[in-house]
Chains A and B, each alone.
Chain A
Amino acid sequence: MTNTQANKSLGIFPVSWSEKRAGRIPGNIPIWVGILSELTEFGIFFVAYFVAKINYPEIFAEGPKQLNTFIGISNTLVLLTSSYFMAKAMCHIRRDEFKKCERFLWLTFFAACTYLCLKTWEFSWNDAQNIHTNTSQFFTVYYYMTFNHFLHVGWAACAILWVIFRLRKGTYNSKEHSGLEALAVYWHMIDLMWILIFPLLYVLR
């Protein structure tokens, strides 16, 4: 390959900046542009959280005590498990075990639905406790972060259904599965964001 030859993933990067030198890119370049954009968005939320916490330490110490920790930890366990299911799906597609791959994708989808149901229950529980977006600075940040994350899980769950449809049509196999892998890394990014959100909102007091 020459230096002018383009990267196969997107067609605009020279080989000097490609996977050959820098290492393999899981999924594809466009999904990583999306992931880095999402990380920037969540990064702004995290900065907002820390700035607000420094300015209102008492409110941020009291806020987590009013939340339903049981639902919070259940959601964490569900998301960690969903990441495990997604990683298993990746293992099976690499062995051309399509049925097993599909089974783990369905498990990931059901885990996503469980998360969405638990989160809806939590928002409803908060409402019953008279906790709203304007209750305090803590809950404003809480709703910004968690509702945004809720939306990400929602549309990623729809993407899982699309990938299952494509898998059934025979699009993916052990040699070509970049679309499935792109979804997998996106899903792990969503899990990563929750791993940061959970201690900030539910654990630290």
Chain B
Amino acid sequence: MNKFGKLEILWITLISITLFNTNLGENFNSTLIVSTIIALTTMFKGMMIIDHFMELKEGNKILRWMMRGYFFVFPMLIIVTMFM
């Protein structure tokens, strides 16, 4: 995270996704498509924080995959519950 500007771009991206998701949730019912978009964008936000803010991209592989696994499983459950 030493390159100037990278943190700022990441922060703006995370804020934009959050606003987009909230707008989606406020204006549309949680259909399969809406829930899938929200789940995938939540997953993406988590991965960005794990890789760049927590600096696990070049860090310990075990920790990185445990964290990424966590942020794969729980957002995926959003989609899975739509079928139940």
**A, B from the same assembly:** yes
What's the dominant secondary structure at chain B's contact region?
helix
CB distance from B69 to the nearest CB of A (A): 10
Question: A94-B2, A203-B24 given as contacts; is B54 within 8 A of A81 (CB)?
Answer: no
A87 part of interface (Cβ distance < 8 Å): yes
Residue of B whose beta carbon sits closest to that of A185: B54
Residue of A whose beta carbon sits closest to that of B80: A50
Are B29 and A205 in contact, with the CB atoms below 8 A?
A: yes
Question: A83-B53, A191-B49, A192-B46 given as contacts; is B60 within 8 A of A88 (CB)?
Answer: no
Q: How many residues of B contact A (CB 8 A)?
A: 47
Question: A80-B14, A88-B7, A205-B25 given as contacts; is B49 within 8 A of A26 (CB)?
Answer: no
Within 8 A of A (CB), among B1-57: 1-2, 7-8, 10-11, 14-15, 18-19, 21-22, 24-26, 29-30, 35, 38-39, 42, 45-46, 49-50, 52-56
Hey, which chain B residues are within 8 Å of A46, CB to CB? 74, 77
Are B84 and A54 in contact, with the CB atoms below 8 A?
A: yes
Residue of A whose beta carbon sits closest to that of B2: A91
A158 part of interface (Cβ distance < 8 Å): no
Hey, which chain A residues are within 8 Å of B81, CB to CB? 50, 53-54
Are A39 and B70 in contact, with the CB atoms below 8 A?
A: yes
Hey, which chain A residues are within 8 Å of B7, CB to CB? 84, 87-88, 91
Complex Cα spacing A182 to B46, Å = 19
A50, A86, A94, A204 — which one has the most chain B CB atoms within 10 A of its CB? A204
Complex Cα spacing A92 to B62, Å = 27
Complex Cα spacing A54 to B80, Å = 10
Are B1 and A25 in contact, with the CB atoms below 8 A?
A: no
Are B1 and A87 in contact, with the CB atoms below 8 A?
A: yes
CB distance from A105 to the nearest CB of B (A): 15
Hey, which chain A residues are within 8 Å of B71, CB to CB? 192, 196
Task: Select B49's contact among A73, A77, A195, beta carbons within 8 Å.
Answer: A195
CB 8 Å contact bits of A21-39 with B (1 = contact, 0 = none): 0111110000010001001
Question: A76-B18, A91-B1, A188-B54 given as contacts; is B61 within 8 A of A83 (CB)?
Answer: no
Closest 7 CB pairs of A and B: A203-B25, A84-B11, A23-B60, A188-B53, A25-B60, A205-B30, A188-B54
User: Chain B residues in contact with chain A, CB under 8 A?
Assistant: 1-2, 7-8, 10-11, 14-15, 18-19, 21-22, 24-26, 29-30, 35, 38-39, 42, 45-46, 49-50, 52-56, 58-64, 66-67, 70-71, 74-75, 77-78, 81, 84
